[in-house]
Structure 1
Amino acid sequence: MIEADLLVETRQGILRGAIEEGTRVFHGVPYARPPVGELRFRAPRPMQAWQGIRDATVPGPASYQVNLDNVQRVLQIAEEMAPDLPGIMAWPGYVNETYHHGNISEDCLYLDIWLPEHAGDGPLPVYVYYHGGANAVSSGHFPLERGANLAREENIIVVRPTYRMGALGWVHFGLISDQLPEAVNVSVQDQIAALQWVYENISAFGGDPQNITIGGESCGATAVSHLLVNPTAQPLIKRAIVHSLSPFNLWCTQPKQDAARVAQEYLNLLNISDAAELMTISPERLIAVHSVMARRFDPDINFAWRPVGAVDDGDILPGLPVSVLANSKYPRQDFELMIGFAKDEWQFFRGHSHTVSEGSRSEVLNVLQQVFSDDAQQVLDEYQALYPDQVKPGQLLSDIMSFEFFKGPSLEIASNFAQQGFPVYVFQFSYDLPGYGGYLRAVHTGDMPFIFRNLSESDLKMWPAFDGADRQELRQVTAEFGALYGQFIRNGNPGNQWPAFTEEKQTVLWFGKTIEAKERLLTSEQSIFAEHGFGHVDSLEQRLALNLDAAFDAEHR
Structure 2
Amino acid sequence: MAEVRWIAAVLAGALAVLLPPVTASPSPEASVVRTQDGAVRGSVRDGYRVFEGIPYAAPPVGALRWAAPRPAASWPGVRDATRPAPACAQPAGEVPGGSTSEDCLYLNVTAPSDAAPGHPRPVIVWLHGGGFTTGAGSSYDAHRMAVRGDVVVVTFNYRLGALGYLGRAGLAGSGTFGLADQQAALRYVRRGIGAFGGDARNVTLAGESAGSYAVCAQLASPSAAGLFQRAIMESGPCTGGPARPFAPYAVAPTVAEAAGTELAGAVGCARAADVLGCLRRVPVARLLAAQGADAQPEYGTALLPRDPAGAVTSGRVARVPVLIGANHDEGTIWAAGIVAAGTAVTPANWPDVVREFVPDPARAAEVVAAYPVRGTDGGPVFGAVIGDADYACPTLRTGSLLAARRTVWRYEFADPDPPRPTPAPPPFPLGATHTTELPYLFDLGGWPRDMTERQRRLADTMIGYWTRFARTGDPNGGGAPHWARSQVQSLAPERTGPVRPGGVHHCALWATMP
Provide the TM-score with structure 2 as the length reference. Answer: 0.84
1:499 aligns with 2:496: no
State the AA in 1 paired with 2:109.
I
**How far 1:116 sits from its partner (Å)?**
0.5
SS state at 1:184 partner: coil
Q: Distance in 1 between matches of 2:222 and 2:96?
A: 34
Q: Does 1:485 align with 2:474?
A: no
**Cross-structure match for 2:109:** 113
Q: Does the CA contact (< 8 Å) of 1:63 and 1:108 recur in 2?
A: yes
Q: What is the CA-CA distance between 1:211 and the residue it aligns to? A: 0.7
2:62 to 32, 37, 43: 37
Answering whether residue 148 of structure 2 is matched by residue 168 of structure 1, we say no
1:442 aligns with 2:432: yes
Query: Which residue, out of 404, 415, 418, partners 2:389?
Result: 404
Cα deviation for residue 122 of structure 1 reads 2.0
Shift of 1:311: 0.5
How far apart, in 2, do the equivalents of 1:486 and 1:451 lie? 10
Question: In the alignment, what sits opposite 2:456?
Answer: 475
For 2:56, give the aligned amino acid: Y
Letter in 1 for 2:110: W
Q: Is 1:150–1:453's contact at 8 Å kept on the other side of the alignment?
A: no
- 1:221-300 superposed matches below 5 A: 221-250=212-241, 251-273=248-270, 274=272, 275=275, 276-290=277-291, 293-294=292-293
Residue aligning to 1:58: 83
Contact 2:38/2:75, CA 8 A, preserved across alignment: yes
- Counterpart of 2:119 (choices 118, 122, 129) is 122
Q: Which residue is 1:337 aligned to?
A: 322
Alpha-carbon shift at residue 373 of structure 1 (Å): 1.6
1:328 matched to 2:318? The reply is no
* Deviation of 1:313 (Å): 2.8
Give the match for residue 192 of structure 2: 201
Contact residue 335 and residue 379 of structure 2 kept, 8 A: no
- 1:236 aligned counterpart, secondary structure: coil
Distance 2:503 2:60 in 1: 47
How far is the alpha carbon of 1:184 from its aligned partner? Answer: 3.2
Question: C-alpha displacement at 1:169, in angstroms?
Answer: 0.9
* Alignment deviations for residues 269-320 of structure 1 (CA, whole Å, 9 cap, x no partner): 2232132211111111111113xx44xxxxxxxxxxxx51210133100101
Q: Which structure 2 segments of 5+ residues have no match? A: 1-26, 242-247
The RMSD of aligned alpha carbons is 2.7
Instruction: Provide the residue aligned with 1:83 in structure 2.
Output: none
Q: Which residue of the other structure, out of 96, 103, 117, is the alignment partner of 1:100?
A: 96
The Cα of 1:197 is off from its aligned counterpart by: 0.6
Aligned to 1:367: 353
Greater displacement, 205-214 / 433-442: 433-442
**In the alignment, structure 1 residue 316 sits paired with structure 2 residue 303:** yes
Q: Which amino acid aligns with 1:415?
A: S
Change (3 A) 1:513 1:109: same
Alignment deviations for residues 440-494 of structure 1 (CA, whole Å, 9 cap, x no partner)? 22111111110125698x443xxxxxxxx65433322212222222211221111
Q: Which deviations, in whole Å up to 9, do the C-alpha atoms of 1:360-395 show, x marking residues without a partner?
A: 2353322322424211112221233xxx88774332
Aligned length: 467
Residue identity matched to 1:326: T
Q: Are 2:350 and 1:349 equivalent residues in the alignment? A: no
Confirm whether residue 11 of structure 1 aligns to residue 36 of structure 2.
yes
Spell out, residue by residue over 1:391-437, the C-alpha distance to the aligned partner (whole angstroms, 9 max, x if none).
Answer: 74332221011011111111111111222242333233433246425
Inter-partner Cα distance in structure 2 for 1:265 and 1:367: 30
After superposing the two structures, state which structure 1 stretch, 483-492 or 391-400, moved more: 391-400
Q: The residue matched to 1:61 in structure 2 has which SS?
A: coil
CA distance 1:16–1:432, change in 2 (3 Å): same
SS in 2 for 1:351: helix
Match in the other structure for 1:382: 370
The 1-side partners of 2:363 and 2:162 are apart by: 37
Equivalent AA in structure 2 for residue 521 of structure 1: P
Using the TM superposition, give the Cα deviation of residue 524 of structure 1 relative to its aligned residue in structure 2, in angstroms: 4.6
Runs of at least 5 residues in structure 1 that lack an aligned partner in the other structure: 68-95, 295-306, 461-468, 540-557
Aligned twin of 2:18: none
Partner of 1:297: none
Partner in structure 2 of residue 139 of structure 1: 136
Q: Deviations over 1:217-257 (max 9, x none)?
A: 11111211111111221212111111111212223211222
Distance 1:122 1:395 in 2: 49
Asked if 2 retains the 8 angstrom alpha-carbon contact of 1:345 and 1:406, the reply is yes
Pair 415,498 (structure 1): closer, same or farther in 2 beyond 3 Å: farther
**Shift of residue 102, structure 1, vs aligned partner:** 6.7
Considering fraction of residues, name the structure with more helix: 1
Secondary structure at the counterpart of residue 494 of structure 1:
coil
Q: In the alignment, is residue 158 of structure 1 matched against residue 153 of structure 2?
A: yes
Secondary structure of the residue aligned to 2:301 is coil
Q: Secondary structure at the match of 2:466?
A: helix
Query: Higher mean Cα deviation, 129-138 or 479-488?
Result: 479-488
Does structure 1 retain, via aligned residues, the 8 Å contact 2:149–2:464? yes
| Cα 1:117–1:288 shift into 2, 3 Å | same
| TM-aligned CA distance change 1:280 to 1:404, over 3 Å | same
- Which digits, 9 at most, give the CA deviation of each residue in 1:305-345, with x for residues without a partner? xx51210133100101111121135443xx21111211111
TM-score (norm 1): 0.78
User: 1:356–1:397: 8 Å Cα contact kept in structure 2?
Assistant: no
CA contact (8 A) 1:114 1:148 kept: yes
Per-residue deviation, 1:215: 0.5
The residue type paired with residue 433 of structure 2 is V
Question: In structure 2, how many angstroms separate the alpha carbons of the residues matched to 1:470 and 1:184?
Answer: 40
- Asked if the contact 1:390/1:396 (under 8 Å) is kept, the reply is no
Does the aligned pair in 1 maintain the 2:411–2:490 contact within 8 Å? no
State the SS of the aligned residue for 2:383: helix
Q: 1:454 to 1:135 in 2, by over 3 A?
A: closer
User: Residue 63 of structure 2: SS of its match in structure 1?
Assistant: helix
Contact 1:28/1:58 (CA < 8 Å) preserved in 2?
yes
